Amino acid sequence: MTELSGGPALAQERRVVTAIPGPKSQELWARKQATVAGGVGAVLPVFVKRAGGGVLEDVDGNSLIDFGSGIAVTSVGNSAEAVVRRATAQLAAFTHTCAMVAPYEPYIEVCEQLAELTPGDHAKKSALFNSGAEAVENAVKIARAYTKRQAVVVFDHGYHGRTNLTMALTAKNMPYKHGFGPFAPEVYRVPLAYPYRWLTGPENCAQEAADQAISQITKQIGAENVAAIIIEPVLGEGGFIEPAKGFLPAIANFAKENGIVFVADEIQSGFCRTGQWFACEDEGIVPDLITTAKGIAGGLPLAAVTGRAEIMDAAHAGGLGGTYGGNPVACAAALGSIETMREQDLNAKARRIGEVMKARLNALAEKYDLIGEVRGRGAMIAIELVKSGSKEPNPEATGALTKACHQEGLLVLTTGTYGNVLRFLPPLVIGEDLLNEGLDILEGAFAAL
């Protein structure tokens, strides 16, 4: 084991030996400022030296508890054994031929796994890409080719990427869209069933939101013009919103009745993150197309569109692809990631993480009225912070809590349309002791506000 090795062998402990960021990280930050575009920010300016399990070790020797997983990417833990083993073997064999030029078996194996794991027992096919935004963009291409229609419907608070088309699909202006327009046309946004903020109460949310969304589609667009409806079964950048129960089935049924391709964007919520292989399974949703990325390959860039064979085959030969799409090393990593998820039953581990976190966070919510709501499923949990005695968003408290956690060696992320949500995405392999230690730090940060 070399000095730089991380992965599961890395000591699973929090260790703060310098101020955060430490002097070596500050030196690297100065180098970054000199040569990296200013638009490429960083949540926490510490530079990672190695990582594994539930911790990140920086160049100054600090070991931070990881409640971010690289934004739900390293769900199996950094440098998981099966990921490293399979990717290393593939690196030694060959690194690239381009799947569209001279294909290879790992690409097929990943597609076979996706056909088996995604919801529904119909015939399925997949196409592999590099990023979540690419997957969503290609889902739109496929839906348009299949339906011969153009309009695409998305929802308030949704996030789907940073390319021109996916910026149009994304709801939030800053920092994702501001100054980057004009955006792609034929994109329409409708209401989302956001229980905490529904004006007539969460008990009315599902039906009223579905009625409003369907009415807008019917009257303002025309269902016969809609190629695809795209929604995250649990919203990511929008604030880890779980649409009110009944909303997703209503929208999916409307799509089916009107020949619209229903696309589940599971890029952040997929691959065991919510305690199921895919979040849409919670209400028995079987999407026509499902987009995946992030947790699929244990940290290597890979994404996919998987769906009904007849829809996936609508695009003409050569119409889908990309030079690096389905890179063989990334495919090998994905097979290792799925192997780890199966062997370690990471769905069960995600559910246990959710039990522990929700119990602790609900106790905090009873103590601090800053916490408007605790929500989420499995290891995709969030708290929405509000001003005392109201539902007014409180991004200031969110920022202060985030900074306090970082200083104590806990990496947490923010999210939400209003910048007032703390989200927690720990690796699914994190130990319960580290999980509780991280929650202790969060509790201390609340006490110090």
pTM of the model: 0.96
Residue 307 CB contacts under 8 Å (≥ 6 apart), including other chains:
124, 125, 126, 139, 142, 261, 287, 288, 289, 290
Degrees, nearest 5: CA angle 237-233-341: 90
pLDDT tens readout for residues 260-294: 999 999 999 999 999 999 999 999 999 999 999 99
CB count within 10 Å of CB 259 equals 13
Q: Burial, 448: exposed, middle or buried (Cβ in 10 Å; 0-12, 13-18, 19+)?
A: exposed
Give CA–CA dist 253/444, Å, rounded. 46
Q: Burial, 424: exposed, middle or buried (Cβ in 10 Å; 0-12, 13-18, 19+)?
A: buried
pLDDT tens readout for residues 138-187: 999 999 999 999 999 999 999 999 999 999 999 999 999 999 999 999 99
Radius of gyration of the chain (CA): 22
Selection from 103, 52, 43, 122 nearest residue 288 by Cα: 122
Q: Determine how β-strand 303-308 pairs with β-strand 380-385.
A: unpaired
Degrees, nearest 5: CA angle 165-166-172: 125
Is residue 127 within 8 A of residue 325, CB to CB? The reply is yes
pLDDT tens readout for residues 392-430: 999 999 999 999 999 999 999 999 999 999 999 999 999
User: How far is residue 40 CA from its own chain's centroid?
Assistant: 19
Selection from 445, 433, 387, 442 nearest residue 55 by Cα: 433
Give CA–CA dist 395/446, Å, rounded. 14
pLDDT tens readout for residues 121-151: 999 999 999 999 999 999 999 999 999 999 9
Tokens (6 digits) for 374 = 């605790």
